[in-house]
């Protein structure tokens, strides 16, 4: 069976008792995955092209579940290269991850906010974009409905949520390549857990459409999916 049943689990990186050294190693591994195999170029291209169609030249972007903030910083750079005036805010419930990211990365650093994705401290339509990377697979379908509805609430232009697709091939890849490439002992186990609890495009389409009518799910290479909705 190429698409195994979904298996929810806790990920070790989210354990508050994890040592700072191990946490930083795992966050570096996660950044390696995002920039190398994470579909980041297609993700950034979608935001750039959609913003051009919306005729927005000044953008405020909220990255929810931003972890170390490396994705937020890269997105800010891509938007600036595309001639946008952009501020990308890194938001995460795990303040330790945000602090670690600020230690790891050089300047410029994105502004950071410690906040619960299910209760964002932002008014309605207060930012242009809400984005996330590898967030949806952490939650149940019912929780994701509530999450996506809340993210849509604060966005003026739209939202773009990048995540894994559940499939046997990435599960095997993480198990083999992760042992060779990752610095942290927990990254391989967390990587496999992430794939096992990820969703298929049809599963995501079902709960995303219930949360926000008109939400679209697009497959991205390699074994990623993008959930998006443009306002108005």
**pLDDT in the model for residue 56:** 87
- Contacts of residue 201, defined as CB under 8 A and 6 or more positions apart, other chains included, come to 165, 217, 219, 225
Query: Tokens at residue 143, please?
Result: 């929780």
Query: Tokens at residue 214, please?
Result: 């008109």
CA 165 to chain centre: 13
Q: What are phi and psi of 121, to 5 degrees?
A: -85, 50
**pLDDT in the model for residue 197:** 98
**pLDDT in the model for residue 1:** 78
Q: Rounded to two decimals, what is the model's pTM?
A: 0.95
The runs of H, that is alpha helices, within 40-127 are: 40-53, 70-81, 95-104
Mean pLDDT by 10 residues, the chain (232 residues): 94 94 96 86 95 93 97 96 97 97 90 97 98 98 99 98 97 92 94 97 99 97 95 73
d(CA 186, CA 25): 9
**pLDDT in the model for residue 232:** 62
Q: What are phi and psi of 79, to 5 degrees?
A: -65, -40
Domains in the chain, ordered, with CATH? 39-166+199-230 (3.40.50.150)
**pLDDT in the model for residue 105:** 87
Query: Tokens at residue 113, please?
Result: 């906010």
Q: Which of 208, 207, 97 is nearest to 159 (CA)?
A: 208
Strand partners, 98: none
């Amino acid at each position: 069976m190429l698409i195994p049943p979904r298996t929810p689990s806790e990920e070790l990186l989210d354990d508050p008792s994890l040592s700072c050294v191990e946490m930083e190693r795992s966050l570096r591994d996660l950044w390696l995955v995002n920039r190398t195999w994470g579909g980041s170029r297609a993700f950034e291209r979608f935001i750039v092209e959609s913003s051009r169609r919306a005729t927005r030249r000044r953008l405020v972007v909220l990255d929810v579940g931003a972890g170390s903030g490396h994705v937020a910083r890269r997105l800010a750079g891509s938007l600036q290269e595309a001639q946008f005036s952009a501020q990308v805010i890194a938001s995460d419930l795990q303040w330790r991850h945000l602090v670690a990211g600020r230690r790891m990365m050089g300047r410029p650093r994105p502004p950071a906010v410690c906040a619960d994705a299910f209760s964002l401290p932002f008014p309605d339509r207060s930012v242009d974009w809400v984005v996330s990377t590898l967030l949806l697979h952490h939650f149940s379908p019912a929780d994701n409905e509530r999450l996506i509805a809340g993210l849509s609430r604060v966005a003026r232009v739209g939202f773009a949520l990048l995540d894994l697709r559940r499939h046997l091939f990435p599960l095997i890849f993480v198990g083999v390549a992760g042992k060779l490439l990752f610095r942290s002992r927990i990254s391989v186990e967390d990587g496999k857990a992430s794939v096992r609890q990820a969703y298929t495009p049809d599963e995501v389409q079902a709960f995303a459409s219930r949360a926000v009518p008109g939400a679209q799910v697009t497959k991205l290479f390699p074994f990623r999916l993008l959930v998006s909705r443009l306002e108005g």
